[in-house]
Amino acid sequence: MNAVITAIGGFVPSSILTNKKISETVDTSDEWIVKRTGIKERRIADDNTATSDLAAAAVENLLENYKVDREEIEALLVATATPDHILAPTASIVCEKSGLVNAFGIDMNAACSGFLYALEMGANMIESGRYSKLIIVGADKMSSIVDYEDRNTCILFGDGAGAVLLEKTESGNGLMKTILKTDGSGVSSLAVPAGGSRTPISMQSLLHRTHYLKQDGAFVFKKAVSSMSQVSQDALAKNELQADEIDWVIPHQANLRIINAVGESLNIDAEKVKVNIERYGNTTSATVPLCLWDFKNDFKEGQNLLITTFGAGFSWGATCLKWGVMRDEKTAKISKNTTEKSVVMAH
């Protein structure tokens, strides 16, 4: 029994933060940002929108576009590094907002690798035979923890959410063997120092702005390239696949130079590597599902996809999956409210 993706949803806020706008507040330029990161713009949620709202919009996009009975969903796994609250879990809020009355919800935080970790956990739940329909969400409101006075980090991140329906199948399609890695020695190189039990929020943390994300960019860059490249090679070997058997690569969208370096290390044509970082920036837990959402029409049954990620923790990993048969799409016209929330993608 395998776990296969059968439906996809996504959501990004309508507000666009361009490189030009950022250059008005910190010492940078559009040319510099594009050259160093590949990012041209990112989506930013307003003050009244929390991570649960992004996640619920992605789930609703999935449920309204595919023939899925929300009452049959047994579990909701929400990967996020920016929960609405320390307590209660964001997944509980999303279950309520999305009408998932028969699902239990749980948050998972592996930073930029969160969606891949949650996908693996969900696949194991299905392969155990105990569950048959799960929704896996990657969602983050990174603008809530980014210091817009720090040009090293504020240029990188955006907000968004993606969701997939994971179901059991007895076909050969679905998630293959996955490799997940963790190296806690890298925690200080990419973290939000204050706000947890180690260093609660205080006047001192506010003064020193340690409640915002801090990053050693050069070190993280090198570690990301080496880790994603190696774990991708290992995942291919574990699944007895050659690089030329991979139809599409779905990498974490952290930096275009990282993405290109990983693709070159695998000797995989750039045309096979899916990239949308120029429009969204780094949406952390949401990058992989947003890529799947953006390019879902390119994926055909039986094609091999390679997913690879790297994030704070350090957390990283890779998996291969054989694309399956998507659920039938609804023919009914989507409500005006949902249409206004959704983003029409132009490729």
Which pLDDT belongs to residue 341? 44
Which pLDDT belongs to residue 1? 87
Catalytic residue among 112, 154, 291, 320: 112
Which pLDDT belongs to residue 131? 97
Which parts of 148-216 fold into alpha helices (H)?
A: 151-154, 203-208
Catalytic residue among 2, 61, 95, 252: 252
How far apart CA 206 and CA 204 sit, in angstroms, is 5
Which pLDDT belongs to residue 150? 93
- Whether 112 is catalytic is yes
Helix or strand holding residue 298 (H, E)? none
Are 156 and 282 contacting, i.e. CB atoms less than 8 angstroms apart?
Answer: yes
- Whether 102 is catalytic is no
Query: Mean pLDDT across the chain, nearest whole number?
Result: 93
DSSP label of 160: E
pTM of the shown model: 0.92
Q: For every one of its 347 residues, what pLDDT tens digit does the chain have, with 9 covering 90 and above? A: 899 999 999 999 999 999 999 999 999 999 999 999 999 999 999 999 999 999 999 999 999 999 999 999 999 999 999 999 999 999 999 999 999 999 999 999 999 999 999 999 999 999 999 999 999 999 999 999 999 999 999 999 999 999 999 999 999 999 999 999 999 999 999 999 899 989 999 999 999 999 999 999 899 999 999 999 999 999 999 999 999 999 999 999 999 999 999 999 999 999 999 999 999 999 999 999 999 999 999 999 999 999 999 999 999 999 999 999 999 988 754 443 444 444 433 33
Which residues, 6 or more positions from 217, have their beta carbon under 8 angstroms from its beta carbon? 152
Q: Strand, helix or coil at 99? A: coil
Which pLDDT belongs to residue 295? 97
Superfamily of structural domain 1-331 = Thiolase/Chalcone synthase (3.40.47.10)
Beta bridge partners of 165: 7, 135
How far apart CA 136 and CA 226 sit, in angstroms, is 27
Catalytic residue among 282, 291, 304, 320: 282
Q: Which two tokens stand for residue 83?
A: 């929960």
- Whether 320 is catalytic is no
Q: Nearest 5 degrees, angle CA 132-CA 137-CA 9?
A: 90
Q: Strand, helix or coil at 218? A: helix
How far apart CA 323 and CA 312 sit, in angstroms, is 28
pLDDT in tens, 52-68: 999 999 999 999 999 99
